A and B are shown apart, each in its own frame.
Chain A
Amino acid sequence: MRNLRFLLQKEFRQIFRDKIILAMMLGVPIIQLIIIPWAMNLNIKNINLSVVDNDHSTYSQQLITEIGSSGYFRIISADQSYRQALEHIENGSSDLIMELPDGFERNLIKEGRQTIGISVDAINGSRASIGRAYLGSVINDFNANLKINQVNLADTLTKTQGFIEITYSNWFNPHAEYKYFFVPGVLVLLLTMIGGFMTALNIVREKEVGTIEQINVTPIKKWEFILGKLIPFWIIGMILFSIGLCVIWGVYGITSTGSLPLLYVVAGIYMIALLGFGLLISTYCDNQIQAMFVAFFFILIFILMSGLFTSVQSMPPWAQYISEFTPVEHFIKIVRMIVLKGSGFYDVLTELGYISIFAIVLNGWAIWNYKKTS
């Protein structure tokens, strides 16, 4: 026990001695937490539209005006030909082209229907599909408001038949604001990076510099050494988590709907799992570059495949399976459940079970693989 105390003293001294490392651990994450979420907005508005009107009729002009005043679109150009409009898509100034064919009005009145061409820049996937959906709904409204339809609508309404009315509501986030979803995600991510990168680097550094041999020849036990390494980072992680909670309350006005002690218990266990992950990496690597790249490999997978910023359920089944094997996926789920929905202990029990298993397996594996003799 006495050994452990001295080891802890040494670790803390080392951490506090290097001001740059300290800033990287506490300052940079907090600054990122304050700034980055403002950039995370998937709300798509101001879609740039190029219009090619080959008809120049009353209806075509009406439709274009309607689209322009819908609030979703910015009509950036009225082009003479499709070819010309395509230029705008190519140089990125436009997202979609609407092409009204010659005889648009005549066909609409005579045949009752007219198809118009919409070409979207499909490289920009989400923007393209949402732009298309918006345009579709504006055109539907336009259809319903057409004068010739209004006359007919009057007699359909008297005969009233089969109209399904849809009402919808968004719970927990009535205005569908993105910050509620992404801010907890950024906090979790920063915690993950600190825990993963710092522990992995720290121990490998002792290997690379050679000081680990000095520790190995002392009577310090394996578990003492490992605890001595993990405890300081666990404390720093929890401090970071606390500051982070204050920041998201102060800057974004997000407070936990659910129980705060429960949130801390989960975060505490998650930190243990994460430190085990860092430790495990360090036992397999010989130098800092290796450790950093292996940690980078996993953390990027955590970021892109664990549902922090992208949706897990839309991925193919094998990818969802991989996602299940990342501790982050379970932790972010719990954090969102507690903070946003106020879920209780029993709601998060299964996920908490997963995190605990990660904590035990990762640490157990790391301790087993850490050898005092080479």
Chain B
Amino acid sequence: MKQLLVFVKKEFKQVFRDPRTLLIMFGLPIAQIVLFGFALTSEVKNIDILISDHSKDVVTTEIVSKIKATNYFIVHEKTMGDQEIEKTFKGGKIQCILIFPDGFNNELIHQGKSEVQIIADGTDPNTAKTMINYLTTILNEYQLQKFPSSALRYQIRTEPRMLFNEEDNGSMNYIPGVMALILMLVCTALTSVSIVKEKELGTMEILLVSPFRPVMVLVAKAVPYFILSLVNFTIILLLSVFLLHIDVRGSLLLLYAESALFILTCLSLGLLISNSTNAQQTALLISMMGMMLPTIIFTGFIFPLENMPWILRTVSNIVPSKWYFIIVKAVMLKGLGFRFVWKETLILIFMTVVLLSVALKKFKIRLQ
């Protein structure tokens, strides 16, 4: 036990000796959380729309000013022929064209109906769908207001209620996911170099010939990173609460316990990578470059997991951050207790055990 303490102390000293690395390792992820927390939103707005109004009458002018009044659109006005549409889209700025034909109001009054055409740039399907939705709503509302008799006599209306997120705080959708993503990549990458660095520098041999039990080397390596990661998590949590205004609804203790477990899972994965490679470069490439995209996708915070083909949904089960993401959402945002997340917790425990035992098995205590 005393040996272990001495060893942990050595690791800590090594970590703290290089303040620049320390700052980069822990400062940058924190900056990322703040940046993404403020920047990312799932709401679509500021769409560049071009309105080609061939009629320019009372009604079209009113509709245009209605569109301008929302903050969804940036309106550009230019009357143009059909042959110019393609050229406009190819220019890349305009995403949507709204066309009022000649004599719009005239037809509306005399024939009882008029046609308006929406042409969307479909290269970004999500924005295209959303803007068609927005425009339809605006036009329908205008119609009802201008011609009340076109309204239905009997109507069911809806009254929406936003659960868990009354103020519609956009960062809530992304923060738990970004937290899971960053913790996972950072913790794994940090530990993935720990052993392999000693191998590369040749100091591993010295450790192995010492009377110290080899397994303890692994433990001693993991301890400083575990503690530093918890500190990191605490800072991230404080920033989310005080800067991004996301309250912790559930038990703080439970959130910490689950986070500690998740950090352990990631450290085990890092140790496994470290034990399976021979150079820092390789370890880092696997833990960061190789794991980055799969982690982003399979955590499920950008693309819903339910939409994936079943094979990929199955694959997503082996990504620890997916389970942590579910836990954070439940405990932190919904304020639920342990009985709602015990399954996910068990899965993380199981992963940690498996990863650690494989890492131990791969840990070579003899030189080739």
Residues of chain A whose beta carbon lies under 8 Å from any beta carbon of chain B: 18, 20-21, 24, 28, 32, 35-36, 38-46, 63, 86, 89-92, 108-109, 112-129, 132-133, 135-136, 139, 142-144, 146, 148-149, 152-153, 156, 159-174, 176-178, 180-181, 186, 189-190, 193-194, 197-198, 201-202, 205, 208, 285-290, 292-297, 299-301, 303-305, 309-311, 313-316, 319, 322, 333, 336-337, 340-344, 347-348, 351
Take A24-B285, A119-B163, A162-B143 as given contacts and tell me if A39 and B297 are in contact as well, using a CB distance cutoff of 8 Å: yes
With most chain B CB atoms within 10 A of its CB, the pick from A176, A293, A333, A344 is A293
A sample of 19 cross-chain residue pairs with beta-carbon separation below 8 angstroms, ordered by A number, consists of A24-B285, A112-B154, A114-B157, A120-B160, A135-B158, A136-B158, A144-B152, A152-B153, A162-B109, A162-B150, A170-B121, A176-B129, A289-B280, A290-B20, A292-B288, A296-B28, A305-B40, A337-B90, A351-B92
Take A21-B285, A116-B158, A173-B122 as given contacts and tell me if A303 and B39 are in contact as well, using a CB distance cutoff of 8 Å: no
Bound-state Cα–Cα, A347 to B255, Å: 51
Main secondary structure of the interface of B (DSSP, over half): helix
Tell me if B116 is interfacial: C-beta within 8 Å of chain A.
yes
Q: Are A165 and B28 in contact (CB under 8 A)?
A: no
Enumerate B311-345 residues with CB–CB distance to A below 8 Å: 312, 316, 326, 329-330, 333-334, 336, 340
Number of interface residues of B (CB under 8 A): 120
Q: Are B117 and A167 in contact (CB under 8 A)?
A: yes
Bound-state Cα–Cα, A342 to B32, Å: 35
**Chain B 158-192 per-residue mask, 1 if CB under 8 angstroms from chain A, else 0:** 11111111101010110000100010011001100
Q: Are A113 and B90 in contact (CB under 8 A)?
A: no
10 residue pairs, one from A and one from B, having the closest CB atoms: A160-B112, A170-B122, A173-B122, A162-B147, A122-B165, A319-B39, A125-B173, A122-B162, A176-B125, A168-B118
Bound-state Cα–Cα, A187 to B119, Å: 28
> Chain A's nearest CB lies how many Å from the CB of B80?
15
Look across to chain A and name the residue whose beta carbon is closest to the beta carbon of B39: A319
Q: Are A123 and B334 in contact (CB under 8 A)?
A: yes
Take A126-B173, A170-B122 as given contacts and tell me if A143 and B152 are in contact as well, using a CB distance cutoff of 8 Å: yes
Q: Are A316 and B120 in contact (CB under 8 A)?
A: no
For the complex with contacts A176-B122, A293-B24, A297-B32, 18 further pairs of A-B residues with Cβ separation under 8 Å are A24-B285, A24-B289, A92-B330, A120-B161, A120-B162, A136-B158, A148-B154, A161-B147, A161-B149, A162-B109, A167-B117, A170-B128, A171-B122, A172-B123, A181-B125, A300-B292, A301-B35, A341-B121
Q: Are A193 and B289 in contact (CB under 8 A)?
A: yes
Take A24-B282, A173-B123 as given contacts and tell me if A165 and B116 are in contact as well, using a CB distance cutoff of 8 Å: yes
Take A91-B340, A168-B120 as given contacts and tell me if A314 and B163 are in contact as well, using a CB distance cutoff of 8 Å: no
